[in-house]
Structure 1
Amino acid sequence: MKALLSLRPWLGVLAERRGRLLVGALLMLATLLSALGLLSLSGWFITATAIAAVGASGYLDVFTPGSGIRFFAVSRTASRYLERLYNHDTILRLLADLRGRVFAGLVTLDARTLARARASQWLNRLTADIDTLDNLYLRLLAPPLVALVSVLAFAAFAGAFLPVAGLALLAILLPLGLIATAGCGWWGWRASHRRVDRQERLRTRAIEQVEGLAELTSYRALETHRALWRREEQALLDDQRRLGRRTATGNLVVTVGVQLATLVVLLLGLEAFRDGQVSGPVMVMLALGTLAVSEGLGNLPMAFTQLGATVRAAERLNAQAELKTPLTGDRLMAGGAAPSLVYRDVEVTHGARTVFSGLNLVIEPGRRVGIVGPSGIGKSTLAQLAVRAFDPQAGRVEFAQQDVSRVSPDSLRARIGYLTQRSELFHDTLAANLRMGDPDASDAELWAVLESVELEPWARSLPDGLETWVGEQGRQLSGGQARRVALARVMLRNSPLVILDEPLSGLDAETAASIKSALDAWLAGRSALLLGHDPQALPTCDDCWRLMPAEAGRVGERGLSKM
């Protein structure tokens, strides 16, 4: 029961659309009641016409019940269609709500927090876990409530004709509903609960296999990794088969239970018919109506054997929601004069590895400082500290004489133009990717900045010019072209502080020299932190420092060597 409390936050999200959920539940109830009415009235009508034909006496009104049968047939079809259409639209809206909330939480997390899990795991939360939560309303909340209402309604209807039949239906169908819900939920809990984690591990193994194929082959670890993959796959298949068998057993119990209720009602009806308490058509109507109740109970075992998976997905999303990065702080004005950037006694550790200890670095307003060093020594960490991707364990970073930990991250990043090592491009047009730097930039400004990075002739040669799609992750572009598009996007931001991490990587010498000249002119009057492997691959710097490892793998004040 305690585990079910993890669903509470997501029930709150559902409650925000309670109007739509209520309408959807009423459509489900209308469908089920129409099915009950159709089968019950059809049974009564067929039996009544047979008795009338055999007796060859009396008058039977065939028009009224015939109209009722047509009404229930049409209403069942219409309500079923509308229910499916309406409820699936509601579920898609709910999934959009859930994804929006989860993504909004993700974007507030700093790099240190995000590093606790793989990118594939965060993606799994955003997709698979939220998809699992769509069971919450469509299978776990509305159907059992609708089934309960239909059982109570039909038991009351049957009791109006034969009270003992109504009591028998309640005595059989209510415990049967409890078995189909709580019983199946308990029985399938463990297998469905661990299935969520096993699916994630299997996806992670698959991604590792694809992305690390060269390394696994080089180190002759491919077969070992495949064995781990097969083990995860077999464990998942075992759980799926176990859940399948338990779902089938639950369906069997429900089917046998409904048939038992039908037989009991039929026997009670025969006894009452013999005693003259009910007519033959009513006796058949009650028995066939009981069979129709299976439409409401039949889908419950399949839904509730997956209850553990829904709860586990909610638990994982709740754990993610508890991860917080402070977003409050002073706000900075956009634009403005070139600021200073100061690192004071900064200490950064990643796990057991110390990246910086006692690091001090000052970038005066309007000055360009270059930091060079080999890969992995901490150059990108300096940039991430400046944009507050994470905070140092000790010391502080100051932007324009303000501690960045006291400045709201969105306000801080609005004044910093940051070119990361990776050229992040989106599956959109060239213009849309560039306007991420300045949404209000005109086409003329886009062409001008493309000219600065030596891409203007290439862009004009494209079939659709600025409206050409660059592909997923910019796959329609070469590595050098993608790098220059990312650089052009930073230039459009027109920020007073610029951080360029390997700005000229992947470029030939002639192109690099031309862009370097353009950057020298563009950086005039700005503060700049320039990071690279070689000072020759950076724009002109006022000061250039080499970042070198110090004792015991520490990089500190003595690790900065003036060049």
Structure 2
Amino acid sequence: MAVLRSDPLVQGLRLLRPRMPRLALAVLCGVLSLGSALALAAVSAWLITRAWQMPPILDLSVAVVAVRTFGISRGVLSYCERLASHDTALRAAGSARVQIYRRLARGPVEVPATLSEGDLVGRVGHDVDELSDALVRAVLPITVAAVLSVAAVVVLALISPAAGLVLAVCLAVSGVLAPWLSARGAAAQEHTARGHHADRDITAMTILDHAPELRVSGQLPRLIVEAAESQRNWGHALDRAARPAAIGAAIPTAAMGVSLLGAVVIGIEMSTTLAPTTLAILMLLPLSSFEAVTALPAAAVQLTRSRIAARRLLVLTPSEASDVDDTQFIAPTADLTLTAQATAGHSGGGHTVDVDLVLRPGDRMTVLGPSGCGKTTVLMTLAGLLAPRSGRVDIGGIPLDRLAEDELRAHVVFFAEDAHVFATTVRDNLLVVRGDCTDTELLAALDRVGLRDWLSRLPDGLSTVLTGGPEALSAGQRRRLLLARVLLSTAPIVLLDEPTEHLDAAASDSLLRALLSGDLIGEHRTVVVATHHLPSDIGTVCLRLQSGSGRPATGTLAGGPASRTDGERNS
């Protein structure tokens, strides 16, 4: 039981949370559909043999009606099974994506931060589909095959125990051995194929996101060729994965032939004691008995693929956001002092930054240093998005990891330099930070960040759709739009990562002065800004980070209140 619980596929299926009544309905329809095929074979065998004896037509009327009934019901029930199973799988896939998004939003960022955008898209898209396919292409066929196999063996054993034994052995070979061989052979190849798939997605996302820059640099044709090559490699890898599965798929056909041959031999031996109609059923029933198990090798391959997909998804979201009872809340009158005595860094290693600081309400601080020295890591650690390698970060004496998620985000907000711009209206792009803002507030925020003229030139103002998302904006306009989100936030502690990057020097210095002086963000709020440069006339507490060759970046800031205008320290 413990081994079963630790199986990544079992854990992954918990993400799906399928509707069990609907899944049971799909199983029932599948059993009845293939059961109709089994009954159709038996009744048809009886009818053909009995008609050969030329009895009165009334003796055949019930069998004729039964043949028609089973023939029609098989198609109808098969359609109902598809409706129920696909509805279950699609709803389960939606449920899994909701849980994954929730875990990504509330969980640690170490794993997602190390993955490329293409890999993330592949996992949330393709891997979730593979996981949900386990319901339709694995769980359902296996259950239906198990029920129908038992029923066929029992019916045949009532006629001839020896024939029933032969059928049971052949069904076991085709229903257990063949799927096992198919799954074992496909596992290693599927890992290779999945690697090619990830490479293809990464290359494709790079092309889609940076096509203009790649075209200017002359790299776009090369990447398109690489994407096509990755697609071909992926196809070849999948073809190789299908070879052992093909062998497994051939075994049920061979087992069916052996079963039929055994039934014929046993039928010849029993021909003197069995009625012709019963003898016909004995020989023809095995043909329909294998219809359910022929899908099992493909089901085993699907289980292998779904298990791999589940393992990748569980790495992405290692555990559910726990509803722990020891979460704490910050009182409305609490002192919102941010205290950090920690070593910031990703769990996988790399740069570490030692931080020792105390930021009281209204303090301003800059994190200064070159790219790659750990500025973003420090901010993410202060925001509770990245667990410190050692030490702790507190707000009002409460560790960040003890705060409820909503409580933490209401008090500390991190604004990334590459925050997403959605392909929707300007209004909706601003409302993502606070949904209750009025148009007056939105217009005021855009005006304060210098986007009034830009907005006035848009055809529909705030209702203008930014077609292509970030592609509809210049780099500077995107920075200002993201900065407008900062102004709309009500969090008392604001952490900004490179808010003035891609602006000209004069505009960048002007915005930095406004951010650190209290002109843009109220003086009662704590502001931490990570930047590459700092105007010489700005005095503020500054954490300087350096990236030395061959050693991790380190920086230490002794605590103390920061000056909001005439800072006393810049060290």
Instruction: State the TM-score, normalized to the length of structure 2.
Output: 0.80
Q: Give me the whole-angstrom Cα distance separating, in 2, the residues matched to 1:360 and 1:163.
A: 81
Deviation string, structure 1 residues 470-495 (Cα, Å, up to 9, x no partner): 24543223323322222222211222
Letter in 2 for 1:99: R
| Kept after mapping to 1: 8 A contact 2:163/2:263 | yes
How many angstroms apart in 2 are the aligned matches of 1:440 and 1:212?
34
> Residue 135 of structure 1 contacts residue 303 of structure 1 at CA under 8 Å; is this kept in 2?
no
The answer on 1:107 being equivalent to 2:109 is: no
Match of 1:88 in 2: 86
Q: 1:325 to 1:5 in 2, by over 3 A?
A: closer
Task: Note the 1:294-305 alignment, pairs <5 A.
Answer: 294-305=290-301
2:419 to 411, 423, 426: 423
3-state SS of the aligned residue for 1:23? helix
Q: Deviations over 1:476-533 (max 9, x none)?
A: 2332332222222221122222333333333467876589769715424322223333
Q: How does 1:51-90 map to 2 (within 5 A)?
A: 51-52=53-54, 58-90=56-88
Query: What is aligned with 1:182?
Result: 180
- Quote the offset at 1:387 in angstroms: 0.7
Taking the aligned partners of 2:496 and 2:318, their CA distance within structure 1 comes to 33
SS at match of 1:418: strand
After TM superposition, give the deviation of residue 67 of structure 1 in Å.
1.6
Instruction: Answer yes or no: is 1:549 the counterpart of 2:551.
Output: no
Query: Number of matched residues?
Result: 550
- SS in structure 1 opposite 2:107? coil
Partner of 1:313: 309
Whole-angstrom distance in 2 between the partners of 1:425 and 1:333: 34
1:533 aligns with 2:532: yes
**Deviation for aligned residue 1:228:** 13
Matches within 5 A, 1:350-429: 354-357=351-354, 359-400=355-396, 402-429=398-425
Matches within 5 A, 1:467-546: 467-507=463-503, 520-536=519-535, 543=540, 545=542
Q: Distance between the aligned counterparts of 1:521 and 1:382, measured in 2?
A: 23
Alpha carbons of 1:338 and 1:488: their partners in 2 closer, same or farther (altered >3 Å)? farther
- The answer to whether the 8 A contact 1:188-1:305 is kept is yes
Structure 1 residue 296, shift from structure 2 partner: 0.7
> 1:341 is matched by which residue type in structure 2?
L
What is the rounded CA distance, in whole Å, between the counterparts of 1:164 and 1:246 in structure 2? 32
1: distance between equivalents of 2:399 and 2:16? 41
Partner amino acid, structure 1, of 2:555: G
Instruction: Map 1:281-360 onto structure 2 (within 5 A).
Output: 281-322=277-318, 329-333=327-331, 339-344=336-341, 346-349=342-345, 354-357=351-354, 359-360=355-356
Over 3 Å counting, the alpha-carbon distance change for 1:528 and 1:116 in structure 2 is closer
CA distance in 2, matches of 1:20, 1:550: 58
Change (3 A) 1:390 1:324: farther
Q: Does the CA contact (< 8 Å) of 1:347 and 1:393 recur in 2?
A: yes
Residue 177 of structure 1 contacts residue 297 of structure 1 at CA under 8 Å; is this kept in 2? yes
CA distance in 2, matches of 1:441, 1:356: 37
Q: CA RMSD in A?
A: 4.3
Q: 420-429 or 507-516: which moved more? A: 507-516
Is the CA contact 2:183–2:300 (under 8 Å) kept in the aligned structure 1? yes
CA, structure 1 residues 93+124, in 2 after alignment: closer, same or farther (shift >3 Å)? same
Q: CA deviation at 1:194?
A: 5.1
Does the 8 Å contact 1:194/1:309 carry over to 2?
no
- Render the CA deviation track for 1:182-231: whole Å, top value 9, x for unaligned: 3433444443455445543564566678889989x9999x9999999969
* Equivalent position amino acid for 1:310 in 2: S
Match 2:430 to one of 417, 431, 434: 434
Does residue 562 of structure 1 match 2:558?
no
CA distance in 1, matches of 2:547, 2:512: 34
Kept in 2, the 8 Å contact 1:162–1:278? The answer is no
Q: Please state how far the C-alpha of 1:26 moved relative to its aligned partner.
A: 0.8
Aligned CA distance change for structure 1 residues 461 and 556 (closer, same or farther; 3 Å): closer
The amino acid that maps onto 1:153 is: A
Gaps of 5+ in 2: 559-567
Q: Does 1:149 align with 2:147?
A: yes
CA-CA distance at 1:32 after TM superposition: 0.3
CA distance in 1, matches of 2:106, 2:514: 37
In 2, the alpha carbon distance for the partners of 1:73 and 1:65 equals 12
Deviates more, 1:189-198 or 1:83-92: 189-198
**Structure 1: gaps (5+ residues):** none
* Identical pairs, percent: 26
Offset at 1:331? 1.9
1:134-283 to 2 correspondence within 5 Å? 134-192=132-190, 195-197=193-195, 199-200=197-198, 203-204=201-202, 234=233, 239-273=237-271, 275=272, 277-279=274-276, 281-283=277-279
Q: What letter matches 2:344 in structure 1?
A: V
Structure 1 CA distance for aligned equivalents of residues 141 and 524 of structure 2: 66
Give me the whole-angstrom Cα distance separating, in 2, the residues matched to 1:96 and 1:306: 19
SS in structure 2 at match of 1:263: helix
Aligned to 1:5: 7
8 Å contact kept, 1:550–1:558: no
Measure the CA separation in 2 of the matches of 1:58 and 1:128: 60
Q: Distance in 2 between matches of 1:550 and 1:32?
A: 68
Which residue of 443, 447, 450 corresponds with 2:446? Answer: 450
Separation (CA, whole Å) in 1 of partners of 2:110 and 2:71: 60
Residue pair 1:44, 1:285 contacting (<8 A) in 2 also: yes
Contact 1:437–1:491 (8 Å) recurs in 2: no
Q: CA deviation at 1:34?
A: 1.3
Q: Counterparts of 2:371 and 2:532 in 1: how far apart (Å)?
A: 7
Contact 1:32-1:296 at 8 Å conserved across structures = yes
**The residue matched to 1:313 in structure 2 has which SS?**
helix
Paired with 2:371 and 2:194, the residues of 1 have a C-alpha distance of: 37
Deviations 1:320-367 (A, max 9, x none): 554699986432257x788443444x433567755534x444444223
User: Does 251-260 or 464-473 show the bigger shift?
Assistant: 464-473
TM score, norm. by length of structure 1: 0.81
Residue type matched to 1:137 in 2? L
Distance 1:417 1:231 in 2: 39
Following the alignment from structure 1 to structure 2, what is the Cα–Cα distance between the partners of residues 550 and 181? 55
Q: Does 7-16 or 446-455 show the bigger shift?
A: 7-16
Flag the 1:47–1:461 CA change in 2: closer, same or farther, 3 A. Answer: farther
- Shift of residue 68, structure 1, vs aligned partner: 1.2
Using the TM superposition, give the Cα deviation of residue 116 of structure 1 relative to its aligned residue in structure 2, in angstroms.
4.6
